[in-house]
Chain A
């Protein structure tokens, strides 16, 4: 199916869904759909490789003061960052799975992200330049949600480029770019490097746009192939215009100094994670998406600098609290959003040989048991998510990485529309009221 045909049919289907409901033979309106628990899910990959030793067990003191209770860390070398931007502790507003597991496959960042976003373990090394083989949570959502929605409702906000843009859709023949999310790597797009390429786009008046569209349509009718195929997700013209304006507004905001203290963090302490969450919040405020995935990776400094790992963990914790605060202040998403935060994998028990200036040794992630031990925290409205609950122990762990996609699908009510055999994981229903 041509991309344009797809967009037209999706639009028509959407219009028909709203305008002309019909009764199926079973007597139901529309296809069978589970009831939604909430209308929005924000999935925060608290990534870069985090050990439970520093997060749950607080071996260096509490480095996640916005999320957990506990005496603050007092190790030398920590930056003086502001107090938590959220009034309460995140843990108190959700269900914690303190012994979550990344059970199988290489403990690489891309592997971990891929497992979290596809709901399937990868047993072999991944081609870093290729889209995943299994469908992503975005594709399940955009293909199976009923009524149909457009990709303006699904966003993948990545901390960096590298292989991560490839996670917005898979190479699966039944899914693929037609069901891909809107990916954005804001710290790259809105960087001094990219600015010259997009900062001053030619603006046409509406009537000029219509004439151009007419001419382009003529040119395309005289050519038998479609433009750039198979290389990106699809937006309708109206959605594309809204996104283009969104980017233009961000550029202007950046140029006028609007991001000089991102999330209220002094610029000298701001990390890529802070900026990434800042732009994820801009997406939330502008589009109130039903599904948004954002990742943070700066704790990976731990390979060569354990103190930077601790610093960046504190900042990531601060950022996710700010994100939750913004969600609760955004009309349409407040009290109707579940936030899932989970690392993609842990780090080794044994240190490597690289010391930082404080004499602390770095940590890699090469697949030992500790590098598979992570946590998951599911936050949400009191009537939907169990608050201040902890599920699972080291002896009897509960939950694993492949459970996240089924859980998102269940929250948004499209899990029963996914064909059997695609998702081996379970819904983390212990978190649900």
Chain B
């Protein structure tokens, strides 16, 4: 092994000094980078809904959204028979929706529940029927609509959503 002579020591010291910081860094605890997805809610915007629900999809989804369960074949047949028997589909759909809102078991919040937390009601309603979060303007409008008018009921809000254009699309 070739030894460094005395005339080489200053250079060796400089070398050591240069290496030490690297050694210190190399010996420190390693940072662990963990890549993961932030917790954000993902929902479809209204603009992205390009497909019109078929008649049966519309009726069965309205039932599922209101009752939280799948519609039975007998109930669906009943609604399809009525729906097929009128030419004005907007009119007969409206009649069916109005009827559904009266059927025992429809999961409509009470007025007190809605007014206890209006923002939560608005969020839940958009998610239930439009499968998305409300925009800021929508949230503001609905909040104002509900809070400034004590006569507005959850049934009225649900009925408006179920008979809206957006509810016809997915």
Contacts and interface: CB of A to CB of B under 8 A. Distances in A.
A196 B78 contact: yes
Contact of A208 (B47, B145, B156, B161): B156
B79 interface: yes
Contacts of B47: 224
A197 B87 contact: no
B149 A189 contact: no
Contacts of B88: 151, 182, 232-235, 240, 243
Given A193-B78, A227-B164, A227-B165, A156 B87 contact: yes
B151 A185 contact: no
Interface in A175-224: 180-186, 188-189, 191, 193-204, 207-208, 211-212, 214-216, 218-220, 222-224
A24 interface: no
A247 interface: yes
Given A197-B96, A212-B156, A168 B165 contact: no
A194 B82 contact: yes
B88 to A, nearest CB: 5
Contact of B81 (A191, A218, A225, A231): A191
Interface string A148-191: 00010000100001000100100000000000111111101101
A244 B159 contact: no
A219 to B, nearest CB: 4
B96 A198 contact: yes
Interface stretch (B1-9, B20-28, B31-39, B97-105): B97-105
A197 B52 contact: no
Nearest to B91: A240
Interface residues of B, number: 51
Interface in B46-93: 46-47, 49, 52, 55, 58, 75, 77-79, 81-93
Contact of B85 (A185, A200, A228): A185
A229 B98 CA distance: 21
A35 interface: no
A199 B49 contact: no
A203 B93 CA distance: 15
A226 interface: yes
B80 to A, nearest CB: 8
Contacts of B118: none
A183 B152 contact: no
B164 A216 contact: yes
A197 B81 contact: yes
B94 A244 contact: yes
B12 interface: no
Interface in A72-123: none
A183 B87 contact: yes
Contacts of A222: 46, 135, 137-138, 166
A224 B46 contact: yes
A202 B98 contact: yes
A204 B157 CA distance: 12
A194 B91 contact: no
Nearest to A169: B87
A212 B164 CA distance: 10
A224 B156 CA distance: 23
Contact of A215 (B52, B84, B145): B145
B95 interface: yes
A199 B169 contact: no
Contacts of B58: 228
Contacts of A218: 141, 145
Contacts of A232: 86-90
Nearest to B169: A225
Interface of B: 46-47, 49, 52, 55, 58, 75, 77-79, 81-96, 98-99, 101-103, 135, 137-138, 141, 145, 149, 151-152, 155-157, 159-161, 163-166, 168-169
Given A222-B166, A232-B87, 12 more contacts: A165-B85, A183-B86, A191-B81, A195-B78, A214-B145, A216-B160, A219-B165, A222-B138, A232-B86, A235-B90, A240-B88, A244-B94
25 contacts: A168-B87, A181-B87, A185-B86, A188-B81, A188-B85, A193-B78, A196-B75, A196-B99, A197-B75, A197-B81, A197-B96, A199-B99, A201-B102, A204-B159, A208-B151, A215-B160, A223-B164, A227-B164, A227-B165, A228-B58, A228-B89, A232-B86, A232-B90, A233-B88, A235-B88
